[in-house]
Amino acid sequence: MFNLSWSRLPLYAKLIRLDKPIGIMLLLWPTLWALFAASDGWPAWPVFFIYVAGTVLMRSAGCALNDYFDRDVDLHVKRTESRVLTAGLIQSKEAIGVAVVLGAISLLLILPLNGLTWLLALVAAVLAVTYPLFKRFFAIPQAYLGIAFGFGIPMGFASIQHMIPLAAWLMLLANVCWAIAYDTEYAMVDRDDDVRLGLKTSAITFGQYDIFFVGVFYLLTIVLLLISGHLFGWGMFYWIGLGCAGVIALIHLYWIRGRDRMACFKAFLHNTWFGCAVFAGIFVETVFR
């Protein structure tokens, strides 16, 4: 299935977007929120390593699966027509093979963890496999993406606390709202192509109110994180972190006001700083208080 010559490895690296780490960061930030919240400080190093490595592996596997499912669609979108699978530089069976290998390794990583975490990991695997299909029929697939990208939150709590408190579920819901906000910005880049191809995205569903709803979902993200932080008993430094995240969201709304494609893509990429701001507040509250 694989041709593991050195000349082939860069193609696999491009398939799993190692050259575009924004996807890893958008998965990693909510996972780190959960690990530090559940541990009330630094998580144990083995658990920290498992989740960081697992995040990279699952995001990479997801990219390979996404390109496999979208290989025909990507041919008709200027931004994606040069992807290695779409361009014919690798075969479909290679993309599936990469996804299976990376997914299997990520599942092996959780073997030292508890049974609840194993169960949640299976759910996470189903989410990762099925997300690319939701763009065919679900009006706001970004909501499903938010669950998939945020599932490290309940998994992290299950690994450390052997339970999932209400505050963790609120944190997951906040991540869903955040994903709708940032992935709508991303979808605004390809809206014309997606309409022509009959795909479903929040940018199409929201229509002329797209910018308004991006703002609404950023606001819901902040509100849900405020409530979650209150339940954890966090104070001033967490509120400062959320305040910084709110300012970043306002900057994004300013950038996308004209719906320029490059500005929307810039706002999407900049969301790593939103996640970082939230994490910074959690980090100070849990490690230094």
User: Which residues of the chain fall below pLDDT 50?
Assistant: 1, 4
Q: What is the rounded distance in angstroms from the CA atom of residue 222 to the CA atom of residue 183? A: 17
Cβ(147)–Cβ(140) under 8 Å? no
Q: Where does 9-287 sit in CATH, by number? A: 1.10.357.140
Residues 6+ apart with CB under 8 A from 35: 43, 47, 48, 51, 156, 160
Supply the pLDDT for residue 191.
Answer: 85
Report pLDDT for 34. Answer: 97
Please tell me the pTM assigned to this model.
Answer: 0.93
For 224-273, write each residue's pLDDT tens digit: 999 999 999 999 999 999 999 999 999 999 999 999 999 999 999 999 99
pLDDT at 145: 86
Q: Where are the domains of the chain?
A: 9-287
Count CB-CB contacts under 10 A for residue 150.
27
- Cα–Cα distance for residue pair 93/200, rounded to 1 Å: 26
Q: What is the pLDDT of residue 3?
A: 55
Provide the pLDDT for residue 76. 67
